Amino acid sequence: MPFFDVGSATYWEKTLGCTRATFGDVGILVLAYTVVSILNRNRHWMHRPTYWMIGIYLLTGLGITVIIERLANNMPYESEWGWQYSELMPLVPGTDIGFVPILMWLVIPLISLWFARRQPRP
């Protein structure tokens, strides 16, 4: 949270904002997984992923993340939707996109795939 400027939001408002963001992140994860499942014609691709599958998975999520970050940061500060970065947020060089959301999209999905591969096969 130190990377985001939440202004004078109450604890409850911060909690709701983080909850919405979590559901959004899960939605991106599921959508990226679905894209690879459709392209591969196999929803169990995580048990034997290839480099192209992982690449499409990550690129889909990164693309959606970049679009959402751009939209969210261009919303008015008083908006019900969107967010602003604090001065602590490092930016991706040459952009106004935060490095933390990009890094988060690379780390969390790869960990998710790692755990999913260890589940029993259908």
Q: What is the pLDDT of residues 64-103, one digit of tens each?
A: 999 998 888 877 766 666 788 888 999 999 888 899 999 9
User: What's the pTM?
Assistant: 0.83
Tell me the C-alpha distance between 32 and 56, whole Å: 8
pLDDT in tens, 29-74: 999 999 999 999 998 888 888 999 999 999 999 999 999 988 888 7
